[in-house]
Amino acid sequence: MNTKSVDVLIIGAGPSGCVSAAYLHQKGLTVQVIEKSKFPRFVIGESLLPRSMEHFKEVGLLDCLEAMNFEKKKGARFIRNEEVCLFDFSKKYTEGWNWTWQVPRADFDKALADEIIRKGVDIAFEWAVTDIKFEGTNSKTTIKDNQGNEKTINAKFVIDSSGYGRVLPRLLDLEKPSPLPKHSSIFTHVKDSNRPLGKEGTIITFDVVKPQVWIWVIPFSNGNTSIGVVGPTEFIESYKGNTTEMLSEMLKLSKHYYNRFKGVDFLFDPICIKNYSKSVKQLYGEGYALTGNSSEFLDPVFSSGVAFATESSLVAAKLVARQLNGEKVDWENEYTNHIKKGVDVFSSYVKEWYTENLQTLFFHRPENPEIKEKICAVLAGYVWDETNPFVKKHDRAVSSMAHLIRMESQQ
Ligand code: FAD
């Protein structure tokens, strides 16, 4: 059997795996990425947050993305019947990037993977990690290809960026039920032949069609648009038929988009992901760290998935580089506590979205520009800025404001 030894083994070549790999390679460490599929491959998660632009820039992955001419995302629009709330990332409390992209992930992830290969990182495509044995911080990983061939990789550290593959959570029994309510989603891409000209055609929109149910519309620069419905699992399951029939029926709930997408062909059979929220018992252990979706996934409503994937992978890669350089690393403080801080802020916003407190704030008129810019900073992914009271007091700020608005409207 073939054996190879490297400093760091990374499972998965999504944005999380590519950011870690680019950083560690920059630091002169030997890296092996193992990727189960062949790229380009479809994955959901197409609306990015400005925060992740910092990560791509820091590891030298921004230029390859700029060359792709993806649709620019300068904010986000939320609509509920006739009410509209528009966030503009240039009007946010925290300093930082004012824009990002709306991306078909097959192209986006391939651009990242191609670039790290060009820089000299080895990605083994169509090889899946099937087993890992740890001896202290050292590990022996078994990988398998489609023909059943096996190889072993010895590594001093493993970063699990396997997304919904959740390799280490499964192998090491780290899965934990998410505290969020059970929600599901059904989505596809369409050839957006009725796309209106101008901003209306390209703006990313979250259309609230029922208090707990919303539709995303994410237009891409290639003329296609991603559409998806998100809601409680029992709501999604209440629709009968195949996924095309289910999604076609659900789209009728959108007054705003019904005509645009009526009769438009789906580019693939809609995919349904049930109970998508995931959590884990721990984010690291001796010789490994979990990053991106293989650790925690909350909810798509604020597009935080990729930003967390790249934040966690960059922080983890920095800690791995220091540890392999002989430094003592406090993983609990420097990794878990940091990631948990951001996850806790977004968890509060996700919860408050579904309690409708956040919707009360979004659609209340007249708008309060000072509050709006603080919430806008959160929606841009700047959830570690504790000078922002809507970050620091995330568990109370939204509900208190919504309470005040309701009291006011009763007077
Ligand atoms: P992935 O991008 O999933 O990459 C993991 C890689 O690991 C894959 O390529 C996979 O093939 C590989 N792999 C898996 N198992 C193995 C194995 N055994 N061996 C080797 N390789 C393996 N996020 C956003 O930021 N914006 C959004 O708009 C958004 N919308 C979403 C909508 C829905 C309905 C859902 C469920 C999620 C959404 N997300 C969104 C979240 C987003 O999908 C993820 O957060 C993001 O893709 C995580 O990136 P990653 O690199 O961790 O994992």
Encode pLDDT of 196-224 as tens digits: 999 999 999 999 999 999 999 999 999 99
- The Cβ of residue 184 has, within 10 Å, a number of other Cβ atoms equal to 19
93, HSE (Cβ side, Cα atoms, 13 Å): 22
- Architecture of the domain made up of 2-73+96-177+277-342: 3-Layer(bba) Sandwich (3.50)
Atom 30 in ligand 1: residue holding the nearest Cα: 45
Alpha carbon distances (Å) from 97 to 47, 195, 300: 15, 28, 21
Rounded distance, CA 253 to CA 150, Å? 50
Q: What is the mean pLDDT of residues 245-264?
A: 96
* Radius of gyration over every alpha carbon of the chain, rounded to an integer in angstroms: 21
Structure tokens at 294: 């293989």
Find the mean pLDDT for residues 183-195: 97
Q: Is the pLDDT confidence value at 1 over 70? A: no
Query: Which residue's alpha carbon is nearest to atom 47 within ligand 1?
Result: 45
What are 98-118's pLDDT values in tens digits?
999 999 999 999 999 999 999
- Per-residue pLDDT band for 410 (boundaries 50, 70, 90) equals confident
Residue 373 has pLDDT above 90, yes or no: yes
Q: What pLDDT, in 10s, does the model give residues 12-22?
A: 999 999 999 99
pLDDT (average), residues 182-195: 97
Whether 180 shows a pLDDT value over 60: the answer reads yes
Query: Does the pLDDT at position 265 exceed 80?
Result: yes
Distance CA 83, CA 77 (A): 10
- The pLDDT > 90 percentage for the chain reads 98
Least confident of 281-290, 373-382, 399-408: 399-408
Q: Whose CA is nearest to atom 4 of ligand 1?
A: 14
Residue from 71, 188, 306 whose mutation best tests the ligand 1 pocket (most atoms within 8 A of CB): 306
Query: Quick one: fold of 183-273?
Result: D-Amino Acid Oxidase; Chain A, domain 2 (3.30.9)
Query: Where are the domain boundaries for CATH 3.50.50.60 in the chain?
Result: 2-73+96-177+277-342
Sequence-distant (≥ 6) Cβ neighbours of residue 204 within 8 angstroms: 47, 73, 76, 77, 102, 216, 217, 218, 219
Report the separation in Å between the CA atom of 310 and the middle of ligand 1, taken as the mean of its atom positions.
11
Whether the per-residue pLDDT at 409 is higher than 90: the answer is: no
pLDDT averaged over every residue in the chain: 97
Please tell me the predicted confidence (pLDDT) of residue 392: 97
In ligand 1, the atom with minimum distance to the C-alpha of 294 is: 52
Q: What's the ipTM?
A: 0.99
Mean pLDDT of 42-47: 98
> What is the pLDDT at residue 2?
87
Which residues have CB under 6 Å of ligand 1? Answer: 11-17, 34-37, 43-48, 128-129, 161-165, 167, 185, 273, 276, 292-293, 297, 300, 303, 305-306, 309
User: Is the per-residue pLDDT at 384 higher than 80?
Assistant: yes
**Residue 78 — pLDDT band, cuts 50, 70, 90?**
very high
Task: Give burial (CB, 10 Å; 0-12/13-18/19+) of 365.
Answer: exposed
